[in-house]
Amino acid sequence: MKIYIDSANINEINELNNLMPIDGVTTNPSIICKENRNNSLELLKQIREILRDDQLLFTQVIEDNYDKLIDQAYQLLNLLGKDTVIKIPVTFNGLKAIQYLEKNNINTLATAVFHPQQTNWAAKAGAKYVAPYVNRIDHHGGDGIKVVKESLCIIKNYDYKSEVVAASFKNTKQLHECALIGTHSITASPNILKQSFSHLSSSSSVAQFQQDWIDKYGSKKLT
């Protein structure tokens, strides 16, 4: 499974990227706004600089007019490199832009997917990635995991080249369920990613091992 950090916070990205096997960073306009920077492009450049070459940066266009949307996509690509994945919301103009950009060898992610048929269209349009919003779907009374599962099924049925990047998680159970159904990738906040690895019983077991050693040998040194 590929795992991305859904954040634009430099400290959080740095911390996690040093600890965990991370495949890249996803951002969206709201996440960038939270960082309260005057220059969002500068922030994106900083994120790109702390990532390795083999790690992906996904960043989103704001415009919804087709021509302006394409302009913003190229502005981001010129600034951040041609390997940047351009996130495009699943609007009609977005679908048109995905077709154009993919034909021009630009990788796109169709974002804000709430129904598997949006996956079908985005995948048919050539989107390299498709992002169902698990928790936002659950929040509105739907079944986020079912949307991910059916998105995976549609991609497989028609041999589309798209990968599902499940997004929007409120708890680690949602993330775990995505792993069980073979979701290609997930993106989650640093907190959710950390929570999905740490366990109180693991910590207490490790503490007990150390205490036993210290009681016997007086320190944590090997003896």
Residue 46 within binding range of ligand G3P, rule CB under 6 A: no
- Count the Cβ atoms, other than its own, within 10 Å of residue 181: 14
Residue 136 within binding range of ligand G3P, rule CB under 6 A: yes
Residue 138 within binding range of ligand G3P, rule CB under 6 A: no
Which CB sits closer to ligand G3P, 34 or 220? 34
CB of 144 to ligand G3P, least distance (A): 10
Residue 59 within binding range of ligand G3P, rule CB under 6 A: no
Which CB sits closer to ligand G3P, 135 or 213? 135
Residue 2 within binding range of ligand G3P, rule CB under 6 A: no
87 is catalytic: yes
Tell me which of 55, 99, 135, 171 binds ligand G3P, using CB under 6 A: 135
Spatial CA neighbour of 59 closest among 32, 97, 80, 86: 86
CA distances in angstroms from 109 to 19, 119, 214, listed in the order given: 26, 11, 52
Q: Which residues contact 170 (CB under 8 A, 6 or more apart)?
A: 135, 138, 139, 192
Name the catalytic one among 34, 68, 87, 149: 87
Given phi > 0 = left and psi -120 to 50 = alpha, else beta, which region is 21?
beta
Instruction: Name the DSSP class of 199.
Output: -
Tell me which of 47, 187, 190, 196 binds ligand G3P, using CB under 6 A: 187
Beta strands in 53-197 (DSSP E): 56-60, 85-89, 108-113, 129-132, 163-166, 185-188
Residue 61 within binding range of ligand G3P, rule CB under 6 A: no
- The residue count for binding ligand G3P (CB under 6 A) is 10
Residue 26 within binding range of ligand G3P, rule CB under 6 A: yes
Q: Is 158 helix (H, G, I), strand (E, B) or coil?
A: coil
Element (H, E) at 114: none
Binding site for ligand G3P (CB under 6 A): 6, 26, 28, 31, 133, 135-136, 167-168, 187
Catalytic residues: 87
